[in-house]
């Protein structure tokens, strides 16, 4: 005879099941909205909250005052495409898909592939609406790497960096279709790049307005919005044509300064970006999403001197050496700010050592999603929540770069090693960043044991790629150290 289940036991089981369902529902409701704002070529010292004295950035500074400011956070690479690939896939440039800007005649090495899992795909699987507004940099039109095929429900902006040079392009792209604008760009070719002869619609302003509309349309469920704005990148074609590639509708606060025109433009671009960060934050408050949304702000790499602006005038890299295209700190250490009311303590500073590749694990933690295996990604959520004792650390961070004869670098603890080239025959420079943030004193000859360890890490981190053959070694003295 089978034992009978008592009514009391069944009632208890029912309550447990209902509690489990309620807990799961509550957990679903706790998923924060995520906004990741990334500037283009904004230096470590370009913001007031990182020491800037001449350019006004009150809204981004407020973001830092209301959240956490990181002092040792790194981009994925010193230029656009590989840095964005690291951000999206959680793999460093030693074995990631995209390791450099490959150029308009050879787009495939700069194209993300079907098998490369992105942050957006992980969040979409976790139930998030996903949007990208700005510069993707990892595919062309009708490509396997298009953002709509890599986890983004919505895309508006530029697909490749050549197109993104032009702030007054003939067209932008919404999802998989061109949106033609009122600008006229003579002889622009397929990329829509160049220097417009008729300038009516400024791309950044269009993307900022689109951002506010997207937020209105997605306020009722968890969302991930990646805002890869192009300010303050220069229009390189404009630089060659006029000497001033800082393409901006107006100089605003800087109109009546005695600065050069490119310097006025550089400052105006950054302040315009700051204005729209403020508009986004106001929109979140009006929609009642302020406390439900975690907002990140950063830059894709270090500052630039393109467009005719003078980074020395602004001290754009602050205390660091180098800029865009360098693996010295000024090329890869970036401003990084995170705000999450009620979760992140206001006005805090973190010296946690992290990089773009950590976004994958962190957002998987935040969303309840599952990141793929085989990554170079550690969640920094404990640091955000003030639980520093629980924060896992990287054994090392690694970068490689394929322009200017090639460069490689590794950081382990406070030690930083740089090679101006690839391979054992290239000398290693060694710096102790805890004592020499500006990387002025190469102490490799004083620490042969550390150099040996760093050489092992440099060799371990690099995996050959058919898309990215290692550059031929430069002759001795052919790839000299940059000065600040």
Burial 232-271 (b: 16+ CB within 10 A, else e): bbbbbbbbeeeebbbbbeebeebeeeebbebbbbbbbbbb
Contact 362, 379 (CB under 8 A): yes
Q: Closest Cα to residue 364, out of 381, 349, 347, 351? A: 381
Assign a CATH topology to domain 397-461: Arylsulfatase, C-terminal domain (3.30.1120)
What is the CA 392 to chain-centroid distance, rounded?
21
What is the CA 195 to chain-centroid distance, rounded?
26
* Reduced 3-state DSSP string for 22-73: HHHHHHHHCCCEEEEEEECCCCCCCCHHHCCCCCCCHHHHHHHHCCEEECCE
Res 5: pLDDT: 47
Residue 99 token pair: 């390791």
Question: Using CA atoms in the order 45, 57, 361, 465, what is the torsion angle rounded to 10 degrees?
Answer: -50
Res 330: pLDDT: 98
- Tokens 């957990």, residue? 27
Res 8: pLDDT: 52
> Alpha-carbon distance 221 to 463, whole Å?
40
> Alpha-carbon distance 233 to 210, whole Å?
20
| CA separation, residue 154 to residues 31, 160, 298, 368 (Å) | 20, 17, 22, 22
Residue 264, classed as helix, strand or coil, is helix
Res 190: pLDDT: 60
Strand 177-180 relative to strand 171-174: parallel, antiparallel, unpaired?
A: antiparallel
Instruction: Please state the pTM of the whole predicted model.
Output: 0.93
pLDDT (tens digit, 0 to 9) for every residue of the chain, 484 residues total?
444 445 554 455 454 444 444 334 334 458 999 999 999 999 999 999 999 999 999 999 999 999 999 999 999 999 999 999 999 999 999 999 999 998 788 899 999 999 999 999 999 999 999 999 999 999 999 999 999 999 999 999 999 988 999 999 999 999 999 999 999 998 756 666 688 999 999 999 999 999 999 999 999 999 999 999 999 999 988 888 889 999 999 999 999 999 999 999 999 999 999 999 999 999 999 999 999 999 999 999 999 999 999 999 999 999 999 999 999 999 999 999 999 999 999 999 999 999 999 999 999 999 999 999 999 999 999 999 999 999 999 999 999 999 999 999 999 999 999 999 999 999 999 999 999 999 999 999 999 999 999 999 999 999 999 999 998 876 554 444 445 5
> Alpha-carbon distance 170 to 193, whole Å?
8
Domain borders along the chain are 30-390, 397-461
Q: 30-390 has which CATH code?
A: 3.40.720.10
> Alpha-carbon distance 382 to 243, whole Å?
47
């Amino acid at each position: 005879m089978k034992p009978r289940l008592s009514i009391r036991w069944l009632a208890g089981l029912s309550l447990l099941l209902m509690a489990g369902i309620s807990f799961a529902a509550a957990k679903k409701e706790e998923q924060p909205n995520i906004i990741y704002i990334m500037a283009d070529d904004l230096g470590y010292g370009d913001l007031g909250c990182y020491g800037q004295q001449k350019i006004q950035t009150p809204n981004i500074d407020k973001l830092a005052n209301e959240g956490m400011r990181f002092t040792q956070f790194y981009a994925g690479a010193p230029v656009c495409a590989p840095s964005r690939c690291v951000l999206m896939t959680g793999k460093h440039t030693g074995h990631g898909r995209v390791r450099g800007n490959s150029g308009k005649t050879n787009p495939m090495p700069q194209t993300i592939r079907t098998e490369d899992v992105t942050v957006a795909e992980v969040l979409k699987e976790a139930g998030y609406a996903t949007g990208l507004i700005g510069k993707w940099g990892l595919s062309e039109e009708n490509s396997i790497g298009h953002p709509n095929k890599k986890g983004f429900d919505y895309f508006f902006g530029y697909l490749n960096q050549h197109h993104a040079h032009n702030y007054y392009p003939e067209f932008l792209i919404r999802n998989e279709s061109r949106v033609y604008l009122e600008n006229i760009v003579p002889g622009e070719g397929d990329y829509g790049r160049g220097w417009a002869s008729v300038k009516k619609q400024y791309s950044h302003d269009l993307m900022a307005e689109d951002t506010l509309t997207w937020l209105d349309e997605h306020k009722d469920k968890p969302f991930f919005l990646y805002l890869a704005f192009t300010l303050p990148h220069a229009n390189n074609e404009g630089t060659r044509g006029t000497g001033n590639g800082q393409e901006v509708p107006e100089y605003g606060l800087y109109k009546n300064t005695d600065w050069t025109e490119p310097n006025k433009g550089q400052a105006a671009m950054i302040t315009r970006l700051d204005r729209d960060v403020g508009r986004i934050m106001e929109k979140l408050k009006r929609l009642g999403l302020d406390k439900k949304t975690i907002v990140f702000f950063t830059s894709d790499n270090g500052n630039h001197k393109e467009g005719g602006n003078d980074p020395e005038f602004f001290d754009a890299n602050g205390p660091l050496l180098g800029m865009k295209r360098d693996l010295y700190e000024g090329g890869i250490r970036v401003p990084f700010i995170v705000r999450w009311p009620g979760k992140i303590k206001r006005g805090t500073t973190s010296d946690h050592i992290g990089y773009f590749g950590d976004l994958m694990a962190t957002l998987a933690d935040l969303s309840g999603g599952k990141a793929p295996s085989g990554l170079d990604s550690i969640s920094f959520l404990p640091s955000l929540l003030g639980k520093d004792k629980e924060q896992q650390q990287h054994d090392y961070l690694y970068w490689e770069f394929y322009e200017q004869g090639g460069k490689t670098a590794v950081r382990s603890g406070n030690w930083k090693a740089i090679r101006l080239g690839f391979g054992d025959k290239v000398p290693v420079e060694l710096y102790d960043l805890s004592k020499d943030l500006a990387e002025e004193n190469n102490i490799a000859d004083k620490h042969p044991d550390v150099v040996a360890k760093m050489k092992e890490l440099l060799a371990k981190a690099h995996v050959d790629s058919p898309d990215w053959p290692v550059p031929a070694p430069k002759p001795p003295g052919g790839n000299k150290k940059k000065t600040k």
